[in-house]
Amino acid sequence: MHSYVKENKLDLNTIAFKQKEKVIDLLKKRFSTYGYQQIQTPAFESYDLYTTVTGTLKQDDMIKVIDRSGRVLVLRPDITIPITQQVAKQTPQLTEELRYFYVSDVFRNTSQQITDYEQLQAGVEFFGNNGSEADAEILALVEHILSDLQVGTFTIEIGHAGFFKEILDHLSLTPEQTNQFKQLVQAKNIAGLQQFINKLNMNESVQNIVEQIPLLYGNPTTVIQRAKELELPANMKRKLETLEEICSLLEAYQCTERIVLDLGLINHMDYYSDVIFQGFIESIGKPILTGGRYNHLADQFGASIPAIGFAFDIDLLLTLEQQEDPYDTQEIAVFYDPSKRKQAANIAQLFRRNGQSVVLCPLEKVNHFHSNVRYKITLKQTKNLLTTATETIEFHTNQELQEQINRLREGA
């Protein structure tokens, strides 16, 4: 939620709203060019859906509602889960590929501020393709959007959810130790990690991998090279090969420059099974988008459907420094003497029919009018004037006015 108070003018949030619409528009168009179709999930959902699906959201974070019959509902806390459930229900044996995108609010009470309970997400879900080429295609889409947004330097970090899970399988840790270990890896806290390892009795080659994982960050080719030098177990080797394949496929899209591998990347959503990624923009401290492959989420709904997706955090994106918005200027305003009321309305309709924005304002209220106006039309009792930033022209008929404006437009 944004509100702006402009000089001389209380503008609740029209600028922020226009900016938001512009970003949404851009994303929608880009999603479409990659073959995605828009869908929406219900705002109210059964609470049971989220309590039965494991490894997803904290129950405390969901906003609950009770309906007339006493049933507990939640306000849409996630989008991937209900879409997956729908797809699994309709086509448990999915043979075709499905590409969906959404622009929807999710509701979570993870924040102190009530205005932050509502968070606008825009993302895609791609079902029915388990190949690395699908992963690469998704990552290329992410890169494409970040370039479209023209937000300066950005980086896409790619990791593998299975990598960390695999290491956990080689260690027998208590839940508390697992948590601590996860935090150390996420913080790339090497000093802490070494102390942690020293307390455990660990096989030397596993120990070496654990120590190196957070440091395996950077240029994909270099990271893969360095990872290969470690004595990785067969399962981890395969996962590394998947990442290598994705990165080499990405070269075809010419977007490897913005991509780094982070083998210590862990996503808080447990449903991710393979490649995971997140995107960062220079001046925003948190990931602007997160995503990954979740091949086993559909298992929980009795189907087997490979899937990959991501979501942009639109509200976070809009916290970027607001630039002077070109839309903030009113295109045409007509100020009229009461005797010219009819002509004013005629002029307004004439331009509106052509899709231009016109506002009407009686001359006596001109002091209450504060927007910037590109073409200012003043209908006085005695004469009619057209004023722009540079000149003032007198006109007699509506036809003449239209010609003048067209001429000025072409000049601009």
**Which residues fall in the annotated binding site for L-histidine?**
78-80, 108, 121, 125, 271-272
Sheet containing 64-66, strands listed edge to edge, beginning at the edge strand earlier in sequence: 44-46, 72-75, 64-66
Q: Pick from 280, 301, 310, 336: which binds another protein (CB under 8 A)?
A: 280
C-alpha closest to that of 223 among 231, 233, 232, 212: 212
Least distance to another protein, CB of residue 197, Å: 15
Instruction: Quote the least distance from Cβ 213 to another protein, whole Å.
Output: 14
Least Å from the CB of residue 402 to another protein: 50
Site residues (CB under 8 A) for another protein, limited to 350-369:
none
Please give the sequence-ordered ranges of beta strands (E in DSSP) within 94-195, or none if there are none.
98-107, 118-127, 154-160
The smaller minimum CB distance to another protein, of residues 300 and 319, is found at: 319
Please select the residue that binds another protein; options are 66, 168, 190, 252, rule is CB under 8 A: 190
Map the footprint of another protein across residues 281-320, applying CB under 8 A. Answer: 281-287
What residue has token string 């388990």?
130
The DSSP result for 217-267, as a single string, is: EE-HHHHHHHHHTS---HHHHHHHHHHHHHHHHHGGGT-GGGEEEETT---
Closest approach of another protein to the CB of residue 60, in Å: 15
State the Cα–Cα distance between residues 114 and 120, nearest whole angstrom: 14
Q: Which of 14, 115, 147, 153 binds another protein (CB under 8 A)?
A: 153
C-beta of 281 vs 405, nearer to another protein? 281
On whether the CB atoms of residues 308 and 291 are closer than 8 A, the answer is yes
CB of 111 to another protein, least distance (A): 13
Is residue 4 within 8 Å of 16, Cβ to Cβ? yes
Restricted to residues 208-237, the positions that interact with another protein (CB under 8 A) are 217-218
The nearer residue to another protein, 136 or 185, going by C-beta atoms, is 185
Nearer residue to another protein within complex by CB, 186 or 235: 186
Q: Is 324 in the site for another protein (CB under 8 A)?
A: no
Number of H helices, E strands in the chain: 13, 19
- Shortest Å, Cβ 220 to another protein: 13
| By the rule CB under 8 A, 175 interacts with another protein | no
Residue 57 main-chain phi, psi, to 5 deg: -115, 155
Residues in CB range of 309: below 8 A, 6 or more apart: 80, 123, 124, 125, 126, 138, 291, 292, 294
Residues that bind another protein (CB under 8 A): 153-155, 157, 176, 186-192, 217-218, 260, 280-287
